[in-house]
Amino acid sequence: MFATVLSIISGLNYLGTVLFVPAVTLEAVADIPQWVSIVGVMSVVVIYTYIGGFLAVVWSDVVQAVLMFSGIFALLIMGTLEAGGVAATWTLFNNKGRLNLFNFDPNPTLRQTFWSLVVGSTISGIGVPLTQVSFLRIKATPTVKSAKRMYLFTAFAFLITNLIAALEGVVMFAYYEAKGCDPLEAKEVDNPNQLIAKMVVDIFKNTPCLPGLFLAAIFSASLSTMSSTLSGLSALFWEDVIKPHTKPMSNRKSTIITQFSVLVFGGIGIVVAFLVSGLDGPIVQIFRTTSSCLRGAVIGIFVMGLFSPRANALGAIVGGTFSCILVGWLAIGRYINDVVSPYAKLEPASTENCIFPNITSVSNISLYSYDTVTSTNMSGYATTQPQDIGTVIAPEGVDIMYSISYKWLRPIGIITVLLVGSLISRLKRPDPVAKNLTVPFGELLWSCFPKFVRQKYCCGVDYHPTKQKEVPDFTQQDYDLTVMKPMNGH
């Protein structure tokens, strides 16, 4: 129940964060207030999830995926052409020092390094299959073998999708570098999450239909994610919160409860979206920061249950609580504490062709992250001076912990649960654990060692080194029959 509550709160945070994306995009493209988009988009998602259930979610995801990739490829192709071609795009991107894939600096306060991106993301990625949304996909497949195939395909598609998203950023930077005007530096947009929308307006302003295709892509990505999350939350609420603590009820009553939960969760998601709109930074960074204290604890509980046969409820609750408090303290501290190490941003695109409002001459415009352009309009002239770097106060003591990169917050939460939870679990006498409920870590890691060595790392569980017989695949119908037979007395 503790993990269920954390999962629901985490899902609501994810729901509100994703809802914020199309709102900020539509504001940049069509000048529609964010609150109108937030309420309107959530209303659409709630309606078709409420009426169609999981089937509507899956098929709408299919259609929305086609629209999403169509918009992305249209932007990639046109942006590359406008930047001068593939070779010119890569040259502009590389010459500005943007290709820094191999930054091996171990400093955990740096925003992104090789270690935080590879090691930190790998640890965080353990939680991808440990969500209700993933479980619904697994349950929708007819056999275990087909579920494995689905996961292999999803892993490959997920990698390609992230690569395309990164290329989209490459093309965007090269386009504005070739154009000679960075929209953020020129104050044409105030929110970095509006950069792609600004690029769409600039590139497709004379091309009919394509701006609408991009908007459809943005909304499709958000709608598919929100509908899946809403469906997962309603299933989680019914199966883990309502069903175990109520008397058996008809399908009609259970359907009414799950539909009502969709409405409630949708309303809460709107509130979260308004709260997220007040936070600064890229949307991925905002989500990772706000969700790490919740998702890290949930993932840690799952992993501890898989790899530690001594794990019990006491260890899970204490470890999960301690993880939430620790990571939540670090995440909140970064937003409310002024004395933190600022994330070192890369050099922006050129501003030599920017047209600054009410400025006759512009000079000394620094292109580096710690310099901000300030304009003082005096008799038609403007002077710009960079911010004094010496005024930045280096963090000391506990402030250094607030400066830890957002990429490390979730791994810290997972590791905290494993350490604290496993330690607390040892204080209580372990209950017998079935072999098929844990991963034989010792058997897999030291398979070539003698049996007495392997058993030392099995925490008392007698894993058999011989290959076990495979459990035959069975369909959902077979499963339902095996459940129903004892109930009906046959």
Q: What is the pLDDT of residue 474?
A: 44
339 near 355, Cβ under 8 Å? Answer: no
**CA distance readout (Å), 295 to 227, 228, 285, 410, 479:** 19, 17, 14, 7, 31
Q: What is the mean pLDDT of the chain?
A: 78
Angstrom distance (rounded) from CA 64 to CA 70: 10
The answer on pLDDT for 299 being more than 80 is yes
Percent of the chain at pLDDT above 90?
17
SS3 448: coil
- 167-189 pLDDT, tens digit per residue, is 998 999 999 988 888 888 888 88
Per the listing, tokens 């501290």 go with 333
Q: What is the pLDDT of residue 395?
A: 64
pLDDT grade for 80, boundaries at 50, 70 and 90: very high
pLDDT grade for 324, boundaries at 50, 70 and 90: very high
Q: Which domains does the chain have, with CATH numbers?
A: 2-278 (1.20.1730.10), 280-333+403-431 (no CATH), 342-393 (no CATH), 442-488 (no CATH)
Of 371 and 156, the structure prediction assigns the larger pLDDT to 156
* pTM metric for this prediction: 0.76
230 near 49, Cβ under 8 Å? Answer: yes
Would you state the torsion angle of the CA atoms of residues 63, 69, 71, 72, taken in this order, to the nearest 10 degrees?
Answer: 160
- 393-450 pLDDT, tens digit per residue, is 566 667 778 888 888 999 999 999 999 999 998 888 777 777 777 777 766 766 677 7
Would you state the torsion angle of the CA atoms of residues 225, 323, 127, 113, taken in this order, to the nearest 10 degrees?
Answer: 90
DSSP state of 75: H
The alpha helices in 438-489, defined as continuous H runs, are 441-445, 451-456, 476-488
SS3 377: strand
